[in-house]
Amino acid sequence: MTRIKNICCIGAGYVGGPTMAVIAQKCPEINVTVVDINEQRIAAWNDEDVENIPIYEPGLSKIVKEARDRNLFFSTDVDAAIDKADMIFISVNTPTKTYGIGKGMAADLKYIELCARQIARVSKTDKIVVEKSTLPVRTAEALKNILDNTGNGVNYQILSNPEFLAEGTAVDDLMNPDRVLIGGDLDNSEGKEAVEALVDIYAHWIPRERLLTTNVWSSELSKLTANAFLAQRVSSINAMSELCEKTGADVNEVSKAVGMDSRIGSKFLKSSVGFGGSCFQKDILNLVYISKSFGLHEVADYWEQVILMNDHQKRRFAAKIVQTLFNTVSGKKIALLGWAFKKDTNDTRESAAIYVADYLLNEQAEIVVYDPKVKTEQIYADLDYLNTRASKENRARVKVVDTPYEATKDAHAVALLTEWEEFKDLDWKKIYNKMLKPAFLFDGRRLLERKTKEEIGFEFYAIGS
């Protein structure tokens, strides 16, 4: 059996970093080198103070501390790491295309292709190439084509090994996954051997029955399907939240009642201001694009509705703030608690908070943001990226502060947008006392208890009740 001694992972991001840290910790006999073209990111992974690694995930810094410079390395020397590796994970970003054919829908595979061409150029020995990034079904075919036609005549086996970790719980998800999916060419002995080599790595800590092997196309498509199903549940419960608000039903009660049906299950039925994160929207748009490109318009429309519902939910929440504040927020200070797309992460990609802030800024509100983990510059970068107004104006009209008390002082309204645990335990009486009256509190996460907030004096609105 092929025993892997050296792994290279291209892409030191939210997936590459944590995934490789866990592999290195669990497989001390394998050297794992994570490479990236982003020098700043690699420098941060190598920072002497392990608390400064670029990605915040509970438990991650401890693992990095244990494995770094033992058998876990971070480097910008991509060629050297490719050259040395028996197995190469491609874990680069696959964002939605912003230009040309498929603009706004298809996955932009330029970073993937660059990796393939670099692997082909550098490799002098046989390699197993593992797709870790989320990719359109049949991408492995394109990869193989590039590798076989531009390479140095070495053999490549391509595997698909999509990642199912969720941010904020990445370490737990990697340590104890529901399943690990490995797609490979199981009809061929070399393909089988490559699959076994990867199975062997995960078997260091994951029971074999949870290591699922399939053909490559099933593996690639299963990843898009899993994200589509998860996002669909959120959009489904969010659709019901609006109906709850009109009928006197409470979405938390509905969610509990529905989720206790074991056929439905209770997870991922929490109504919110809308799902965010780097992947749900991009992967569903990709699925919609693939379906359309096969002429499957009904399939495409079905999945697109999940995104349309999510956009509606974000807009509806922001509109509710404006409407409740007597139809104008012009010149009014509104405090946003939370900017990350969910708790326990510093990731803000596609966070609902960005869109709520943008909507309120269009209504001429003055925004003050507090988030325990997100850096000020990131908040401005997120707003600038939308291109709705000049960067200078975003800086003038949005303030980022260090405490929730500073954020809410003299505010007309508070909108809770990320479910950080610490928001539950704030001194809400103190916040109320320092706000303008009537003091409005909008809970976009169903984190706070209505009764106690109303007793304090807040005008309280919560999604879905």
Report whether 271 belongs to an annotated binding site: yes
The residues with which 90 forms a beta bridge, in sequence order, are 10, 131
The answer to whether 223 is a known ligand-binding residue is yes
Which residue type does 229 have? F
Q: Does 217 bind ligand NAD (CB under 6 A)?
A: no
**Contacted by 111, from ligand NAD, ligand UGA, none: CB < 5 to 8 Å by type:** ligand NAD
The DSSP 8-state label assigned to residue 47 in this structure reads: -
To the question of whether residue 224 is assigned a binding role by annotation, the answer is yes
Binds ligand NAD by CB under 6 A, chosen from 4, 7, 9, 16: 16
Q: In whole angstroms, how far apart are CA 71 and each of 8, 59, 68, 132, 307? A: 12, 18, 6, 20, 42
Taking contact as CB under 6 A, which single stretch among the options 4-12, 207-215, 262-270, 301-309 is the one that binds ligand NAD? 4-12
Rule CB under 6 A: choose which of 163, 220, 358, 371 binds ligand NAD. 163
Closest distance to ligand UGA from the beta carbon of 271 (Å): 7
Q: Which does residue 94 touch among ligand UGA, ligand NAD, none (CB within 5 to 8 A, set by kind)?
A: ligand NAD
Element (H, E) at 322: helix 297-324
Residue 93 interacts with ligand NAD (CB under 6 A): yes or no: yes
- Chain positions 261 to 280 lying near ligand NAD, rule: CB under 6 A, are 278-279
Q: Is 9 a catalytic residue?
A: no
115 touches ligand NAD by CB under 6 A = yes
Q: Could you tell me if 38 and 112 are in contact, meaning their C-beta atoms sit under 8 angstroms apart?
A: no
When binding is defined by CB under 6 A, the residue of 25, 71, 134, 252 that contacts ligand NAD is 134
- Known binding residue 274? Answer is yes
Instruction: Tell me if 342 is assigned to a ligand binding site.
Output: yes
Chain residues in the site for ligand UGA (CB under 6 A):
134, 163-167, 227, 230, 234, 268-270, 272, 275-280, 341-342
The partner residues of 461 in beta bridges, in order of sequence, read 442
Query: Does position 44 bind ligand NAD by CB under 6 A?
Result: no
CA distance 25 to 71: 8
Contacted by 24, from ligand NAD, ligand UGA, none: CB < 5 to 8 Å by type: none
Cα angle 401, 421, 231 (rounded to 5 degrees) comes to 100
Give least dist CB 320 to ligand NAD, A.
29
User: Which range binds ligand NAD by CB under 6 A, 37-45, 152-160, 233-241, 421-429?
Assistant: 37-45
φ, ψ for residue 301, nearest 5 deg? -65, -40
Q: Site for ligand NAD (CB under 6 A): which residue of 7, 8, 9, 10?
A: 10
Of 338, 315, 327, nearest to 408 by C-alpha is: 338
Nearer to ligand UGA, 270 or 409 (CB): 270
Q: Does 133 bind ligand NAD (CB under 6 A)?
A: yes
Please tell me the distance from the alpha carbon of residue 38 to that of residue 429, in angstroms, as a whole number: 45
| Shortest Å distance, C-beta 123 to ligand UGA | 28
- If phi > 0 it is left, if psi is from -120 to 50 it is alpha, else beta; for residue 92 that is beta
Two tokens, residue 208: 């074999």
- Comparison of 111 and 432: residue with beta carbon closer to ligand NAD: 111
Continuous segment of H or E residues that includes residue 196: helix 189-202
Would you say 133 is a known binding-site residue?
yes
The values of phi and psi at residue 445, to 5°, are -130, 0
Catalytic residue among 8, 9, 244, 279: 279
Binding of residue 94 to ligand NAD (CB under 6 A): yes
Nearer to ligand NAD, 165 or 398 (CB): 165
Can you tell me the distance from the alpha carbon of 363 to that of 71, in angstroms, rounded to the nearest whole number?
53
Q: State the number of binding residues for ligand NAD (CB under 6 A).
A: 27
Task: Check residue 228 for interaction with ligand NAD (CB under 6 A).
Answer: no
What single-letter DSSP state applies at residue 364? T
**Which residue's entry shows tokens 């190439």?**
129
Contact criterion met (CB below 8 Å) for 349 and 355: no
Three-state SS for 185?
coil
Helix (H, G, I), strand (E, B) or coil at 93: coil
Q: Please report how close the Cβ of residue 415 comes to ligand UGA at its closest, in angstroms.
A: 15
Which helix (H) or strand (E) element contains residue 141? helix 139-150
Rounded Cα–Cα distance for residues 105 and 108 (Å): 9
> Cα(19)–Cα(13) distance, rounded to whole angstroms?
10
d(CA 412, CA 408): 8
What residue numbers does the annotated binding site cover?
Answer: 11-16, 36, 41, 92-96, 133-134, 163-167, 223-227, 263, 270-276, 279-282, 341-342, 349, 445
Residues catalogued as catalytic? 279
Residues that bind ligand NAD (CB under 6 A): 10-16, 35-38, 41, 78, 91-94, 111, 114-115, 133-134, 163, 165, 167, 278-279
- Residues annotated in the binding site for NAD(+), as ranges? 11-16, 36, 41, 92-96, 133-134, 167, 279-282, 349
